[in-house]
Amino acid sequence: MDRHFEIRKLVYTALLTAIIEAAKWALNAIANVELVSLLTMVFTIYFGWQITLCSLLLFALIECLWWGVSIWTVTYFYVWPILILITWLFRDKMDRYTAALISGFFGLAFGALCSLTTLVMSGPKAAFAWWIAGIPYDVVHGISNCIIAFILYEPLIRALKRMNIRL
């Protein structure tokens, strides 16, 4: 395998991780409004699922190092790969409408997906309570994800194409 190709993949993985982390911090003060979902989708479409997966796993690790290991940080290790998989499955049909729909539903389902960790650790009653208590946040998350993806998905894809960044 070409050594330059491997180095380029490593550099892109680090760069995408830094962009995801910076985007998370940029909107950290606004509960459940985030760019990580959109960036995950854009990076999956443009760079492929492998580099995006590595970047998101590094992002999850950084979150654990920064905030400590807790129920919500552990969920990042399986929740973001689910979005990568869904995006990859719809990659041939992806446009601003599909991106908005997937991102919106992902935001709505985020709390339910995160409650799976609580299910394993504390049982079904605790997981159900966790999920129900978070529904108002999931609604905000879903609506904001939908709007952000609808507005920014295509401009971000166009910008990456214009920069001609390739592996």
pLDDT tens digits for range 29-55: 999 999 999 999 999 999 999 999 999
pLDDT band for position 71 (cuts 50, 70, 90) = confident
Tell me the per-residue pLDDT of 146-166, one tens digit each, with 9 for 90 and over.
999 999 999 999 999 999 877
pLDDT value for 3: 77
For residue 57, give the CATH number of its domain.
1.10.1760.20
Mean pLDDT of 81-109: 98
pLDDT band for position 96 (cuts 50, 70, 90) = very high
Distant-in-sequence, close-in-space partners of 149: CB < 8 Å, separation ≥ 6: 37, 38, 41, 96, 99, 100, 102, 103, 104
pLDDT value for 32: 92
From residue 68, how far is each of 64, 71, 109, 116 by CA, in Å?
Answer: 5, 10, 24, 19
Q: Is 96 helix (H, G, I), strand (E, B) or coil?
A: helix
CA 45 to chain centre: 13
Mean pLDDT of 101-112: 97
pLDDT value for 1: 58
Q: Would the pLDDT of 107 be above 90?
A: yes
pLDDT value for 73: 85
Mean pLDDT of 98-120: 96
Tell me the per-residue pLDDT of 76-90, one tens digit each, with 9 for 90 and over.
999 999 999 999 999
The structural domain count of the chain equals 1
Q: Give the position of tokens 């999931």.
A: 138
pLDDT value for 70: 85
Token couple for 77:
């290790």
Instruction: Show the domain range for 45.
Output: 3-163
